[in-house]
């Protein structure tokens, strides 16, 4: 009886491991990084047009996953050309001195039901802070989608210096939302 159960378990395990999938190639045309903040109490949406990334995610081994994202800050789209010019300047992103924001994953914690917590470090304007990013994973054939959002406090990264360091006009909290589509190897 033990041999039969062991044989059945082995037979069921072999196809599973033979079909393990690792997602490594981000589809930039199907991925986006957006943000929302409040200006004078009104929600304002924006996005970044360019970013690069590395990814290694095997749903069978989620704790071994690795990801990094470099967001080109000058690619910001606030919905208005004058806003785009303002936020790349020294008081805000200072994109001349700090051209990119970078996220590097650390620990990945499975929460069940294709939900994860991704702990890592976010660097903007030469300042690095630990962040925990909740994300969902959805397999779609040979590709997958990661979606999530997290809130960053712009004061933690000196985004909005001088007269902009107060939060009466532009709120401190910025919600970053992402949808990353990736292909398997």
pLDDT tens sequence across 38-88: 999 999 999 999 999 999 999 999 999 999 999 999 999 999 999 999 999
Smallest CA-to-CA distance from 119 within 48, 62, 172 is with 62
Averaged confidence pLDDT in the chain:
90
Whole-model pTM?
A: 0.86
SS3 at position 180: strand
Q: Give the pLDDT of residue 185.
A: 80
Smallest CA-to-CA distance from 181 within 53, 35, 31 is with 31
DSSP state, 21? -
Mean per-residue pLDDT, 142-157: 96
Task: Give the pLDDT band of residue 17 (cuts 50, 70, 90).
Answer: very low
Pairing, β 32-39 against β 100-112: unpaired
What is the enclosing helix (H) or strand (E) of 17? helix 2-18
Stronger pLDDT, 12 or 78, i.e. the higher one: 78
Asked if pLDDT for residue 4 goes beyond 50, the answer is no
Q: Give the pLDDT of residue 15.
A: 36
Cα–Cα–Cα angle for 167, 171, 172, rounded to 5 degrees: 85
């Amino acid at each position: 009886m033990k041999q039969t159960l062991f044989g059945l378990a082995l037979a069921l395990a072999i196809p599973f491991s033979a079909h393990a999938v690792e997602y490594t190639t981000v589809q930039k045309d199907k991925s986006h990084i957006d943000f929302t903040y409040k200006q004078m109490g009104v929600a304002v949406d924006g996005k970044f047009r360019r970013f690069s990334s590395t990814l290694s995610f095997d749903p069978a081994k989620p704790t071994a996953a690795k990801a990094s994202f470099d967001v080109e800050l000058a690619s910001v789209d606030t919905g208005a050309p004058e806003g785009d010019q303002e936020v790349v300047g020294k008081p805000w992103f200072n994109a001349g001195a700090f051209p990119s924001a970078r996220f590097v994953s650390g620990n990945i914690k499975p929460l069940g039901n294709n939900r994860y917590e991704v702990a890592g470090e976010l660097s903007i304007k030469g300042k690095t802070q630990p962040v925990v990013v909740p994300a969902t994973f959805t397999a779609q054939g040979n590709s997958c989608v990661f979606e999530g959002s997290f809130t960053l406090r712009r004061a933690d990264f000196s985004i909005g210096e001088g007269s902009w360091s107060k939060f009466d006009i532009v709120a401190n909290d910025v919600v970053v939302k992402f949808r990353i589509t990736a292909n398997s190897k």
